[in-house]
Chains A and B, each alone.
Chain A
């Protein structure tokens, strides 16, 4: 009798846990759905080709976001041009040359994990002090991009390191046993095999960079003119959204439309990144003999 009671109790608990899991999952999907629906409701009416290519007017209440879109892409370009080579090289160093629990590697990993937890506003202060003032870059796209690069590097490096470590050790062993140098195994086997994981790291980094507002206020500034060069100040999409929503009465729907553009940009870049990664992975299975 006691046994049957216990079995029934187990069944009730199992059902309750399953229900809870479903509920939580629904909640997550629901929240995303709500955000997107709200953005679409407020922003979609404002969205048009003109919105993308026109200059903003009346502090952003009217007109479009052309200079802001261009500044954002330039800031992201500077950020990636600096952070991807450094990030990939550091990840290779950690995953291929410092696998152990002793030596220089753990120190680097510990520093990176600490940096990853530093609030972005602190990176902004640092970027302002170092890039804008000490290096004399002022409020510029260059200073903003470099500050973002510092900010996304820890994330980029750690996720790329994980991707490289996930490549089976047997592949490295097999190439070494064939008398091939580590360079060959890295370039032709390990990196292509890790491409999807590397892309995930890159997407995370790009997402964080595009979402960043606080660090850019201090570094790339918030001038909404079309920038002439990388040394010009430029306003990022996230800063524009912040400004319209908080400082410009009546800017709400323009902010929502800008947010829609930002979301679409992130999705577009993610899709392109994973397509490129699949092509790279596919190079392993090239059918040429």
Chain B
């Protein structure tokens, strides 16, 4: 991989909660416009690592990050970094859909307005495009003023995806985006994630190895040693799935362990 291809890169990343190590020594690379699947058993720090990339851990004073993360070559763990601007460039989708307690339309126009998009018609255009991009426009165009909580789980998750996309992020962090959805809705969201390949750099945490196989360009396998998560193996999806170097990831990917 040449440096130009690397969008997001973690080096010797460690996370501690209240002084107790949760993840240590992670070195991870995400290629621009590609999908990196992060897999591994529960409790090996996949979600913890994911939330480092938009510094959401800043909200938790007991959480401490060490090491380095570079976005387009720029260090983002330095103290002086504009965290709000960073989070605008690096979107996050969590496991359970979390629409804001606003109407469907305002879930998209609210962040735009408070990011300084002054004209209402601009906001509405951007919101419509984002809804079309996630295939929700036809389903909701007649009830944009209804509360977002009235949507089904799958629709809510697509709304959250649209809400992240409306800010035109460079990177999307997806933390098990399909695990709270039924199989049909899950397939729709998975298809959407695949359709974003090439335009957005995606890091997706998933427990579903079949999904990882279908989606991923690259794969990172996490494991834990004495309760501390670490990166066991990383490489292109083909290499990791067909001939994993580490016996642990080989066993895990075969479904024998974890």
Interface residues of A (CB under 8 A from B): 100, 170-181, 184, 188-189, 193, 284-289
A–B pairs, 29, beta carbons within 8 Å: A170-B98, A171-B100, A173-B59, A173-B94, A173-B98, A174-B100, A174-B160, A175-B100, A176-B59, A176-B87, A177-B56, A177-B92, A178-B167, A179-B85, A179-B86, A179-B87, A179-B115, A179-B167, A180-B114, A180-B115, A188-B110, A284-B102, A285-B101, A285-B103, A285-B147, A287-B145, A288-B145, A289-B103, A289-B144
* Contact for A286 among B54, B103, B114, CB less than 8 A: B103
**Is A177's CB under 8 angstroms from B91's CB?**
yes
Q: Which residue of A lies closest to B109 (CB)?
A: A289
Most buried by B among A171, A173, A184, A289: A289
- Interface set, chain B 74-132, CB cutoff 8 A to A: 83-88, 91-92, 94, 96, 98-103, 105-106, 109-111, 114-115, 124, 127
Query: Which residues on B sit within 8 Å (CB–CB) of A193?
Result: 101
Q: Within 8 Å CB of B102, what residues of A?
A: 189, 284-285
Chain A residue with the shortest CB-CB distance to B51: A177
Residues of A within 8 A of B92 (CB): 177
Asked whether B98 lies within 8 Å of A180 as measured between CB atoms, the reply is no
CA distance A100 to B114 in the complex (A): 29
**Docked CA distance A172–B56 (Å):** 11
B87 with A178: CB separation less than 8 A: yes
Contact status B106-A286, CB under 8 Å? yes
Size of B's binding interface in residues, CB under 8 A: 38
Across the interface, do B124 and A289 meet the contact criterion of CB distance under 8 Å? yes
Q: What number of A-B contacts does a CB cutoff of 8 Å give?
A: 78
Given contacts A173-B94, A289-B103, A289-B145, contact A180 B84 (CB under 8 A): yes
Query: Is B101 in contact with A184, judged by CB distance below 8 angstroms?
Result: no
**Residue in chain A with minimal CB distance to B163:** A178
A6 to chain B minimum Cβ distance, whole angstroms, is: 43
CA separation between A204 and B61, bound complex, in Å? 34
Q: In the complex, what distance in Å separates the CA atom of A184 from the CA atom of B115?
A: 10
Chain B residues within CB distance 8 Å of chain A: 54, 56, 59, 61-62, 83-88, 91-92, 94, 96, 98-103, 105-106, 109-111, 114-115, 124, 127, 144-147, 160, 163-164, 167
Q: How far is the CA of A184 from the CA of B112 in the complex (A)?
A: 12
Q: Is the CB of A184 within 8 A of B103?
A: no
B111 touches A180 (CB 8 A): yes
Q: Which of A171, A284, A287, A288 is close to B98, meaning CB atoms less than 8 Å apart?
A: A171
Q: Which residues of B contact A173 (CB under 8 A)?
A: 56, 59, 94, 98
- Which chain A residues border B84 with CB–CB below 8 Å? 179-181
State in angstroms the CA–CA spacing of A176 and B100 once bound together: 12
Known: A178-B163, A179-B167; 7 extra A-B contacts, CB below 8 A, are A171-B98, A173-B94, A173-B98, A178-B88, A189-B101, A285-B102, A285-B103
In whole angstroms, what is the CA distance A246 to B176 when docked?
70
Docked Cα-Cα span, A173 to B88, in Å, equals: 14
Which of A172, A173, A179, A287 counts the most B-chain CB atoms under 10 A from its CB?
A: A179
A177 touches B144 (CB 8 A): no
Closest to B99 in A: A174
Q: Separation in Å of the A86 CB from the closest CB of chain B?
A: 25
- Determine if A176 and B56 form an interchain contact, defined as CB atoms under 8 angstroms apart: yes
Q: Which residue of B lies closest to A193 (CB)?
A: B101
Contact for B127 among A175, A176, A289, CB less than 8 A: A289
With a cutoff of 8 Å between Cβ atoms, the chain B residues found around residue A180 in the complex are 84, 111, 114-115
Asked if A289 and B91 sit within 8 Å, CB to CB, the answer is: no
Complex interface: chain A residues within 8 A of B56 (CB): 173, 176-177
Q: What's the least CB distance linking B178 to chain A, in Å? A: 18
Q: How far is the CB of A249 from chain B (nearest CB, A)?
A: 58
Chain B residue, CB-CB nearest to A103: B61
Closest-by-CB residue of A relative to B55 is A176
B17 CB to nearest A CB, Å: 13
Which A residues lie within 8 Å of B86 (CB)?
A: 179
CB distance from B54 to the nearest CB of A (A): 7
CA distance A98 to B228 in the complex (A): 28
Separation in Å of the B47 CB from the closest CB of chain A? 12
Tell me the minimal C-beta distance from B81 to chain A in angstroms: 12
Give bound CA distance, A179 to B147, whole Å. 22
